[in-house]
Amino acid sequence: MNKHSYFRLLVIALIIVACDDSSSSPKPEPDLDLPEQKPTWEFIHQDSIILVDTRVNSGSFEFGTRMRFIKNGHIDSIGIQMPDSDSYRFTVWNLADTSIVLSTQIDVDSGEVKYMMISPIEIQAGDEIRITIQSNDWYRYTHTTNSTIQIFPDTIGDIILIDYGYFDGNSQSYPTEIYQNYYAGFADIVFKPTE
């Protein structure tokens, strides 16, 4: 064998070794850490929504938003903003049977937006919940141009906000008065999709 033959064999061997991935480390999985979603926060900060009223000590209600999830994931935090400093009861209702999934108190200062970690609530695509606050204080939001225009349903990220509802009184009762042209509160969740 001449020098050129040895050189060709050496080049071929190097090409084969360079193309062989079996000795290389595995490729990392794509980053599936999807961004968290705060549907109420995103909803009230749309250009089409405006704060029209603030009430303090104005009658007690259990009130909040019904929502349907488009993707699987989990809720790992809840949040509120209220116009008066107090301790507020926050409830997560399962819409399959209106049972209570979570009931807890959140202490908040006037105007403060506060999110609180919770034990994760697993969510499947298609699940519906309602989140409510028991309070005599609230902010009221409507459409920017006309308070009679429907603002619900509205899709925010992977969540459909279906309607707003309230129950008149101090008891922890599922809302029975349902509206689609205004929102009162501010109750929110932090949803983290897993797909």
Q: Tens digits of per-residue pLDDT, 36-78?
A: 999 999 999 999 999 999 999 988 999 999 999 999 999 999 9
Is the model's pLDDT at 25 over the cut of 50?
no
Cβ neighbours of residue 17 under 8 Å, at least 6 residues apart? none
Q: What is the pLDDT at residue 195?
A: 82
Domain boundaries along the sequence of the chain: 39-193
Instruction: Tell me the CATH number of domain 39-193, given options 3.40.50, 2.60.120, 2.60.40, 1.10.10.
Output: 2.60.120
Distance CA 145, CA 132 (A): 27
Model pTM score: 0.81
Burial of 116 per CB tally in 10 Å (0-12, 13-18, 19+): middle
Share of the chain above pLDDT 90, in %: 79
Name the least confident of 4-8, 23-27, 149-153.
23-27
Structure tokens given for 122: 């697993």
3-state secondary structure of 9: helix
Distance CA 29, CA 100 (A): 38
Give the closest residue to 90 by CA, choosing from 125, 71, 117, 68.
Answer: 117
More confident position, 176 or 8: 176
Looking up tokens 């034990």 gives: 119
Q: Phi first, then psi: what are they for 152, rounded to 5°?
A: -120, 150
